[in-house]
Every structure is written in C-alpha cells, then in structure tokens.
Chain A
Amino acid sequence: MKLIKKISLVVASIAAIGAFSNASADKLDDVIKRGTLNCGVVLDFPPMGYTDKDNKPAGFDVDYCNDLAAVLGVKSEVINLTWGDRIPSLISAKTDVVVGSTSDTLARAKSVGFTYPYFVFKFQVLSKKGVRMASFDDLKDVKVGAALGTTYETEYFKYADSKGWGRDNYTSFKSENDAFLGLYQGKIDALISTNTNIATKLTSGQFDGFVAGPYVPNYDDVVGLIAKRDELAWIKYLNLFLVHQIRDGRLNELHMKHFGTAVSPDMVQSLRDNK
C-alpha cells in the first residue's frame, strides 16, 4: 500500500511539473528557444513589403521584422502572406507575429490581438489622367476598384452606401497587384489604395498616365502588428518594441529609407498617443 502511495505521489508530481512548465512557456519563450522569429509580411504592398530585384523580401515591414528578430537575438524568417492569409497563419502557428499593415478595427480585435499602432496611412484614389476626380464624390460616375477584403474596400462601401451609389460600378481584385493591373488595362478608371502604395507606383514610372487624387474623407488608417489574442505577454513585448522603434529614432530612419522623407510629426504624435 505504502509503495503504491509513493509511486502515485511521484507520478502526480511529475505530471504537475509538466503541467506547470507547459503553462508558463509562452510565445516569447517559444521564439527565443526556437531561435527563429516567423514573421508574416504582405509582399505585394510596396514600400511596406515587396520583393527586391534579387527576389528577396524587402520593405518597411520586413525591416521591422528584422529589427524585432535582432532585439530578440534570433534569426528572422520572413513569411510571405496575402491579405487573407494573415489570420490563418497566426492560428495555425505558421507565424508568430504579422507585420502586415493591419487596420485595428474593433470587429477584428474580437478575433486577434493588436499591438499599439505602428503606422498611419491615408486612403487615396489613383485615376487615369483625364478622368474628373476633384473630390471623392466624383467616384460616383466612374468604374472603381480595390483589393478584396481591405479596409479601403470596406470604407469605400460605407461611403458609397451612405450616398446611395450602389455597387454596380465597383470591381474587387484578389490582390493589390491585380487591382493595379486592372487599372492599367482599363478595366477600371480609378482605384483606391494607400497613399504610400500609390506614391511608390507613381515614382516607378509605370503609371505615368495616372494621377493621385483625393483621400477617403475623414479617415486615418491606423495599423498595428497582430498576434494571437491570448498571447498577452508576447503582445506586451511587441508594444515595447514599437515604443523603442520611435524612441530610438529607428522609425524615422526607416521612413527616410523607404519613403524618402522624415516621418511627419503628426504621425509620431498619433503613434505616441496610441490612436
């Protein structure tokens, strides 16, 4: 009897230790132990994410991944995602964090954990030269498109619905690149994307027959990093990382590198205020 008691006590304590150590290991420990950070980036969204001439991942978001891996002391593994892959990649643990210009809507925050904001975009119209585009309301009379499932698509729908435009003039595209291809081919007269992406496309010289137009009225696209919602310690670490990127001047450096200008004081203030 004594022996059985002893054995069961040993078994129980081993099980307890196992359970305890399982519970305490979180994502932050996992990443450090593993020695690699699996960082998801959308690589068809220049200059935030793209592939350079050697077919290597590059861009603002990729640099953020590399900076994060560097402070963690691990190898950075950039994983290419489409907009739609962002959440499945987190849930299936293929990525630890997604640096993917994810708009921090409250609907999405019910499903996924957001960090503090790390960038602020404006949504803008790019249209063919000669198409009248003095204000956002001019979209009413032209064929317009955007990438499927993006926040600018949602914002356009909201605006169009409030004005009673209907959706017959609207075409959605599978990806950001397809939307630009559609505009280029003349399937649509105007598209909506972020000011940053449009500026990059215009400087590339491929879109000489097109002009950047009005912004989506009264809307700032505030984006954060995303991770699994229950990884609180991990999200806290990511928050501190973002604070340091601003404080240490790294945000400004990368803004200079990818956009050619210093980061605007407004944006820094927005990020500092977390709004």
Chain B
Amino acid sequence: MNNYEFHWNVVFDAFPQLLSGAFTTVHVSVLSMLVGIVIAVLLALGKLSNNKVFYHFANIWIEIARNTPALFLIYMAYFGLGAYGIHLSPYLAVFSALVFINAGYLAETFRGGFQSIPTTQYSAAKSLGMNNIKVYRYVILPQMFRRIYHPMTNQFVWSILMSSLGILVGMNELSGETQRLQSTSFRTLEFFMVAAAMYFVITKLVLFTSSLIAKKVFKGELS
C-alpha cells in the first residue's frame, strides 16, 4: 500500500461507462422509491385497518421487508424465482426487491405519520361532507407527507445505496460497471474511489432535487 502508484487516466478513459452505470443506479432507485411510496401508503392504511385480511397482508409484507437482508431478497428475486421458471431480468429483479423493501420500511414511517394526525380532523372533514377518498386526498395525506418528509429521504438514500447490490445479479449499475472495469485494468483502488465519490454526488443531487420538488408541492412548509 505504501508504494502504490495511482493511475487516474485509466478511470478517465472509462468515464462514459461509469456514467452509464450511474444512470442505471439513479433510474432503478428513483423508480423503486416512487412505486414504493404508493404501495407504502396502502400498507400503512392496512396496518391501521380493522379488516383482518388487509391488516395481516400488510403486516407480513412489512415484517419480511424489514427483517431480511436486501442481498437475500435480490438474490431470491433473481435465482429464487428462476428455480420456478420465472425469469426476471437483472433490472426487474433488483427493481422489485427494492420496491418490496422500500414499501415495507416506508409503511412504518407512514403509519407513524398517519397516527400523528388527530382523529378529530378526520371527523371534522367528514362533517363537511367529504367522502373517505377526499378526506385523505385533501386533509390527511398532505399533512402526513409534510411530517414524514425527512424520514422518507433517509429511505431514499438507502434505496440508492442498496441498488449497488445489483452487482449480485449482474446488473450493469454503477457497482457492476466498476467491478467490470477494475477487473480488466486491475486499477481497483482508483475505480472504487471514483465510484464512491459518484455515489456521494448522486445521493446529494437526488436529495437536492427532491427537496426542490417538496418545497414546490408543500409550498415551503416542511415540519
């Protein structure tokens, strides 16, 4: 280590491939986050519901997602389903595993958000003649999303970083590309350091963009 010479030009030449890997990373993590949010709202409502079927379904989903390693879920989505003749592409395997995990984790965050809103607001909205969907659309959800915005961004960061496990199933995201490039050149340290820096930048950019969107949607009011 003491006399290791860094050859940065190798990394520079391979930059287009790293960028295309980074694009896949952003793609899969943002998309899995968006789908995850929608499912998480339903799961959180299921956990608060009196309907036994709905409750248990949500509960099992959340428990599995929160208590098993992402690595295992991705591997199962790819090779586990493969054993039964269901062949997801590497992208789809990573995407569905991330959606599953994001939804499970976010559901618990959302449940806390829902419970923090006084039930009197629900009754008040009802008394104004709103139906259930309108109550959630105009009264509950806007407040809930404001309150859980910051915990939600934590999951977003995790989603980006977890997508690096895509390398397990041969997905050509940033880690997979890095691995391939370092194995042909053997400039391992250089490629891994640049990849780490790129993850940092991606995470910061995604958080910055989502805060811009949040400010617009929540009209600057974040609690």
Question: Chain A: residues with CB nearer than 8 A to chain B?
Answer: 83-84, 87-88, 91-93, 105, 107-108, 110-112, 145, 148-150, 153-154, 171-174, 178, 181-182, 185-187, 230
Pairs across A and B, CB under 8 Å, 24 listed: A83-B183, A84-B188, A87-B182, A88-B188, A88-B189, A91-B1, A105-B184, A107-B184, A108-B184, A110-B186, A112-B186, A145-B170, A148-B167, A148-B183, A154-B184, A172-B170, A174-B167, A174-B168, A174-B169, A178-B170, A181-B82, A182-B79, A186-B85, A186-B87
Number of residue pairs A-B, CB distance < 8 angstroms: 76
Which residue from chain A places its CB closest to the CB of B170 in the assembled complex? A172
Question: Taking chain B's interface residues, is the majority helix, strand, or loop, or is none over half, making it mixed?
Answer: helix
Q: How far is the CA of A174 from the CA of B172 in the complex (A)?
A: 11
Question: Chain B: residues with CB nearer than 8 A to chain A?
Answer: 1, 3-4, 7, 79, 82-83, 85, 87, 90, 167-170, 172, 176, 179-180, 182-189
B180 and A171 within 8 A (CB): no
What are the residues of chain A within 8 A of B184 when measuring CB–CB?
Answer: 105, 107-108, 149, 154
A108 and B167 within 8 A (CB): no
CB distance from A128 to the nearest CB of B (A): 14
Q: How far is the CA of A108 from the CA of B182 in the complex (A)?
A: 9
A230 and B3 within 8 A (CB): yes
Q: Which of B4, B176, B183, B185 has the most CB of A within 10 A?
A: B183
Which residue from chain A places its CB closest to the CB of B83 in the assembled complex? A185
What are the residues of chain B within 8 A of A174 when measuring CB–CB?
Answer: 167-170
Known: A148-B176, A148-B179. A173 touches B4 (CB 8 A): no
Additional pairs, 12, CB under 8 Å, beyond known A83-B183, A111-B187, A185-B87 = A84-B182, A91-B188, A92-B1, A112-B186, A148-B167, A148-B176, A148-B183, A149-B179, A154-B184, A171-B170, A172-B172, A185-B79
B1 and A111 within 8 A (CB): no
B182 and A149 within 8 A (CB): yes
What are the residues of chain A within 8 A of B82 when measuring CB–CB?
Answer: 181-182, 185-187
